[in-house]
Amino acid sequence: MSVEKEKILVQKYGGTSVGTTERIKIVAKRIKEYYEKNFHVIVVVSAMGKSTDALVALSKEISENPSDREMDMLLATGEQVSIALLAMALHEIEVPAVSFTGSQINLLTDGRFSKARIEKIDTNKLLTALEKKMVCIVAGFQGIDLEQNITTLGRGGSDTSAVALAAALEAKECEIYTDVDGVYTADPNKIPAAKKLSKISYDEMLELASLGAGVLHSRAVEFAKKYNVILHVRSSFNFNEGTLVVPEDTDMEKLLVTAVTLKKDEARVTVSDIPDRPGIAADLFAALGDVSINVDMIVQSTGKDNLNTISFTVLKNDVLKAEKVVKELLTSWGAGGASVDKNIAIISAVGVGMKSHVGIAARMFKVLAENGINIEMISTSEIKISCVIRDDKSEEALKLIYSIFGLENA
Ligand code: ASP
Ligand code: MG
């Protein structure tokens, strides 16, 4: 007997979905329904609830700076708990199921601990189990490198495990179960009228993921786009249809803007009066990269009197580290000053419709201006406009921008 590809379904359940044993039993029942409809179900799970955070906290009780290898060894245990419990819950309701760690299915990654990238997946074990009508439960977030070290894919990485498995098995769809109903036109906690999108393109989803609409891990979306895996983001708390993440189609371009987001976890570093010569920006951002600080927006003003100002944003958590790096450089250059501003927010509008409609940025800037909201930095891509504004104006800005693009009628 061989496994019919059309019938392979990959389902990923996040931490909240398997947060308690009660929740695990509910998830098991849900899996049973698909199993009984003759799907070959591959389930990828995250660690229960906030258990990965708890493991991080444990390590901190021992060491401020634990070895990366041991950290991955520790964090990977969270998923080993949830796969075993879910397999047991399935056995209790008479569904044959078997759990696998990343190493047991040879999910090969490079050796970069805590941010490993998947290189190869051996599907043999899974296909053999599927042939025997077993549900396969795979630990998300983890893999193994060539030297048999346990690696992890970065926080939130179970999404990526699921999409990679779906790609390797050529599954039709990968369902991502979470605690929200799908992807919304804005955060419903801030805009109660926000609507669930029935579909969104990979590129829009990538922008939204990096703008902090935390429903999907960006790497997972990149993978899905590369291998054409359709993602279905939906809730494990009900049976509503969620949001499909799919290739772009012409319908999508009819909308001006698909979603509006607000990001409040970044801070700005301004480096002023630095020499206006080749190599300064390269040195600055190389030094930040060396300590693994991710820089988001960058603005450099036009030089004057052979001096320049460069501003950039980083996660608030990284800002002190960034300031330290900058100050060391300033000493080596013998020039300049640095300051940090934590009271900023980044407001963005995203939509593939921007490719075919002009004047979207102008409309956004105008509504901010009319309401006395100053724009401090701007960055754009083909399908996104982002502005840095004062944090205390950000909720107001979100509502204004939401309404001018007619998202309430989306
Ligand atoms: N358990 C891991 C985390 O909390 C991976 C995941 O949930 O996707 O980051
Ligand atoms: Mg998660």
pLDDT, residue 398, reads 95
The whole domain housing 92 covers: 5-179
pLDDT for 232 beyond 80: yes
pLDDT, residue 208, reads 92
Residue 366 lies in a domain: no
Residue 221 lies in a domain: no
pLDDT digits (tens, 9 = 90+) for 169-184: 999 799 999 989 999 9
pLDDT for 336 beyond 70: yes
pLDDT, residue 352, reads 92
pLDDT, residue 334, reads 86
Residue 98 lies in a domain: yes
Ligand (nearest to CA of 52): 1
pLDDT digits (tens, 9 = 90+) for 24-57: 999 999 999 999 999 999 999 999 999 999 999 9
pLDDT for 1 beyond 80: no
What is the Å distance from ligand 1's center to 345 Cα?
Answer: 26
Neighbouring residues of the ion ligand 2, judged by CB less than 5 Å: 14, 46, 156
Answer whether 5's CB lies under 8 Å from 171's CB. Answer: yes
pLDDT for 269 beyond 80: yes
Task: For residue 141, give the ligand 1 atom closest to its CA.
Answer: 5
Answer whether 98's CB lies under 8 Å from 137's CB. Answer: yes
Number of domains in the chain: 1
Residue 214 lies in a domain: no
Q: How far apart are CA 37 and CA 236, in angstroms?
A: 18
Answer whether 259's CB lies under 8 Å from 402's CB. Answer: no
pLDDT for 407 beyond 90: no
The preferred substitution site among 45, 50, 52 for testing ligand 1, maximizing ligand atoms within 8 Å of CB, is: 52
pLDDT for 228 beyond 80: yes
Q: The CATH number of the domain where 9 resides is what?
A: 3.40.1160.10
SS3 content of the chain, % helix, strand, coil (to 5): 40, 25, 35
Ligand (nearest to CA of 155): 1
Residue 32 lies in a domain: yes
pLDDT, residue 410, reads 55
How many CB atoms are closer than 10 A to CB 275? 15
Q: Tokens 């800037």: give the residue.
A: 365
pLDDT, residue 292, reads 85
pTM exceeds 0.85 for this model = yes
Q: How far apart are CA 34 and CA 39, in angstroms?
A: 6
Q: How far apart are CA 178 and CA 183, in angstroms?
A: 11
pLDDT digits (tens, 9 = 90+) for 104-151: 999 999 999 999 999 999 999 999 999 999 999 999 999 999 999 999
Residue 45 lies in a domain: yes
pLDDT, residue 306, reads 86
pLDDT, residue 409, reads 61
Residue 171 lies in a domain: yes
What is the Å distance from ligand 2's center to 156 Cα?
Answer: 4
Q: Indicate whether residue 312 lines ligand 1 (CB < 6 A).
A: no
Of the pLDDT bands very low, low, confident and very high (cuts 50, 70, 90), residue 210 is confident
Estimate the crossing angle of helix 218-227 against helix 158-168, to 10 degrees. 10
Of the pLDDT bands very low, low, confident and very high (cuts 50, 70, 90), residue 282 is very high
pLDDT, residue 249, reads 87
Task: For residue 52, give the ligand 1 atom closest to its CA.
Answer: 4
Indicate which residue's Cα is closest to atom 8 of ligand 1.
156
pLDDT digits (tens, 9 = 90+) for 73-91: 999 999 999 999 999 999 9
pLDDT, residue 302, reads 80
Span 287-306, mean pLDDT?
A: 88
List 377's β-bridge partners, or say none. 388
Residue 323 lies in a domain: no
Q: What is the mean pLDDT of the chain?
A: 94
Q: How far apart are CA 174 and CA 336, in angstroms?
A: 51
pLDDT, residue 357, reads 86
pLDDT, residue 301, reads 85
